[in-house]
Amino acid sequence: MTEFVMSEGLAEPADLRPAPSGDRRRPVWVVPDTVPAVLPRSARYTEARWVAKYRRASLAADLGAGGIGAALALVARFGAQINLGYVVLGVLLPVAWVACVALQRGYETRYFGTGPEEFRSIIRAAVALTAIVAISSYATKSEVARGFVVLAVPMTCAAAMVGRWMLHRQISWRRFAGRCMRRVLVVGRNDQVTTLKRHLEERPADGYVVVASCLPRGDAFEEPEPERLGRTEMDILAAVDQYTVEVVAVAADPELAGHTLRKLSWALEQRGVELIVSPGIVEVAGPRISIRPVAGLSLLHLERPSVSGGPHLLKSIFDRVVGCLMLLGVAPILLVTAILVKLTSRGPVLFRQTRVGRGGKQFQMLKFRTMVADAEARKAELHALNEGNGVLFKLRDDPRVTRVGRYLRRFSIDELPQLVNVLRGDMSLVGPRPPLPAEVAQYAIDDARRMLVKPGLTGLWQVSGRSDLTWEESMRLDLRYADNWSIALDLLILWKTARAVLGSDGAY
């Protein structure tokens, strides 16, 4: 008989009986006290209901996007003189669009509410639809107006992206409120289970809530010599039925691999329960991980991060082009800010500070001066009031900050001169936070990996709390970016930076 250990505050299931004394070859089920231990059978259909609603909403949004794209393209290309053939083509476009999205797995349950995967399916569907129209037009020797295709497909894609974004926002709000969640059973050793649970709990928007954990008895209780006990398929399936589980997550458990894991997947498939396996690799983005079949085995391949060559050249070109456009766009703001800084306090308009760039190369970083001229000399007397993360000096109500400087810091206007550093090649638009030489001197061996890429005007640290982050959190985000950066990630961070700056979160 399986022994169940319930967290404090949870009622014990009525159908459980005590385990026989001396039975030490069974797993222990540990249930968090934040989730009901046992739900009624109707809870099994909760996921089916919200999934069905989401799928219907996605189909409606994509059909509407196809109709919008077709209508706008017809009006823009032909005006009031639309022949019957193009009217038929406009009617067929929404259906063809939905078919392309379906072929690109845009309606698969596992991608609902995930964000990036849904958006990728939309982009791939747009490429596929363009190719289908081009090939069909060539094969049938029919002349489809290029202007119609050039307008219809991008407009449809843009409308579909907006629709999916709205759906993603709605389901994210529900998940933060504890709704539309998938109930997860985590199986593995204690340390792996703890790590996986922590990562799932940190991102409720992904839609997973851990309701129970399965681990050997020796891992659950601190004993002098814990036994290495195996789990049987029946134990896991009993917990799946008991806790109305919708997902079983195996956390890098060597006892559940090979044929055993395959048999478990078959049994879960019969129950309609999803099986996911965590390889135990953290802080590595999906594009760097691939599954390659070799000799009948599915091997996990981890690509090396891009640290040189073509990708970095592309990033450098992107930085300079976009940085130049941004500098031209904010030129009036720079001029007004420079005048305000000069007229409201004594000292230079720009503040120059030595920072460390890619490969340990030092450079002079530019910022608008937001403090009094003798701020560095007065730093020692304020050191006891430091509210920073232990390495950096930060003070919410710093008396050295000027009246104008508070507004510049709040909306990050003081950092706009760093666009000049971007054009010089010292910095990137997106990257790790530019460190001081004193910080670099305290780096561990692993921390030095953040120097593989240029420091950025913004980065993951900027959109994740800014000055409110601890030193460890800031370093973890910088290392994550250095290992997983891409142009797509840079664009996402730039978008989120605008929202973080307008909200002025963590800025002081």
pLDDT (tens digit, 9 = 90+) per residue, 66-87? Answer: 999 888 888 887 777 777 777 8
Residue type, 460: L
Question: pLDDT band for position 405 (50/70/90)?
Answer: confident
Tokens representing 502 are 């307008």
pLDDT for 47 equals 65
* Integer CA distances (angstroms), 307 to 75, 282, 311, 369, 485, in order: 47, 19, 8, 34, 10
For range 145-163, the mean pLDDT: 86
Question: pLDDT band for position 503 (50/70/90)?
Answer: low
pLDDT for 422 equals 94
pLDDT for 324 equals 93
User: Does 437 score more than 80 pLDDT?
Assistant: yes
pLDDT for 305 equals 67
Question: pLDDT band for position 418 (50/70/90)?
Answer: very high
pLDDT for 306 equals 65
Average pLDDT of the chain to the nearest whole number: 77
Question: pLDDT band for position 336 (50/70/90)?
Answer: very high
User: Does 320 score more than 80 pLDDT?
Assistant: yes
User: 3-state SS of the chain: helix, strand, coil percent to 5?
Assistant: 55, 15, 35
If one compares 456 and 190, the residue with the highest pLDDT of the two is 456
Tokens representing 227 are 């036994």
For range 137-145, the mean pLDDT: 75
Tokens representing 220 are 């659950």
pLDDT for 209 equals 87
Q: What is the pLDDT of residues 7-46, one digit of tens each?
A: 322 333 333 333 333 444 444 444 443 444 444 444 444 6
Tokens representing 125 are 């569907």
Contact between 229 and 27 under an 8 Å Cβ cutoff? The reply is: yes
Give the C-alpha separation, 87 to 92, whole Å: 9
Give the C-alpha separation, 200 to 198, whole Å: 5
Which residue from 448, 469, 505 is spatially nearest to 392, judged by alpha carbons?
469
pLDDT for 4 equals 33
Q: What is the pLDDT of residues 73-129, one digit of tens each?
A: 888 877 777 777 778 888 888 999 999 999 988 888 777 877 777 888 898 899 998
Name the one residue in this structure whose structure tokens are 């920073």. Answer: 388
Burial of 135 (0-12, 13-18, 19+ CB in 10 A): exposed
User: Does 53 score more than 80 pLDDT?
Assistant: yes
Q: Three-state SS across 295-317? A: CCEEEEEECCCCCCCHHHHHHHH
pLDDT for 196 equals 84
Decide the pairing of beta strands 182-188 and 3-6: unpaired
For range 36-62, the mean pLDDT: 69
Residue 351 Cα to chain centre, angstroms: 34
Which residue from 77, 114, 80 is spatially nearest to 93, judged by alpha carbons?
77
Percent of the residues in the chain that have a pLDDT greater than 90, as a whole number:
15
Q: What is the pLDDT of residues 469-495, one digit of tens each?
A: 677 777 888 888 888 888 878 888 888
Question: pLDDT band for position 424 (50/70/90)?
Answer: very high
Tokens representing 156 are 């449809």
Tokens representing 323 are 């940085």
Residue type, 69: G
For range 352-370, the mean pLDDT: 90
* Integer CA distances (angstroms), 85 to 70, 73, 134, 164, in order: 13, 14, 17, 30
For range 454-475, the mean pLDDT: 77
Among 53-67, 150-164, 243-257, the minimum mean pLDDT is found in 243-257
Give the C-alpha separation, 277 to 221, whole Å: 25
Among 180-184, 194-198, 305-309, 403-407, the minimum mean pLDDT is found in 305-309
Question: pLDDT band for position 380 (50/70/90)?
Answer: low
Q: What is the pLDDT of residues 248-297, one digit of tens each?
A: 888 876 666 677 788 888 888 888 888 888 876 666 666 667 677 776 66
CA end-to-end distance (rounded Å), the chain: 58
pLDDT for 23 equals 43
Give the C-alpha separation, 382 to 400, whole Å: 10
Give the C-alpha separation, 195 to 290, whole Å: 22
Question: pLDDT band for position 331 (50/70/90)?
Answer: very high
For range 434-449, the mean pLDDT: 82
Question: pLDDT band for position 504 (50/70/90)?
Answer: low
Residue 291's CB: how many other CB atoms inside 10 A? 8
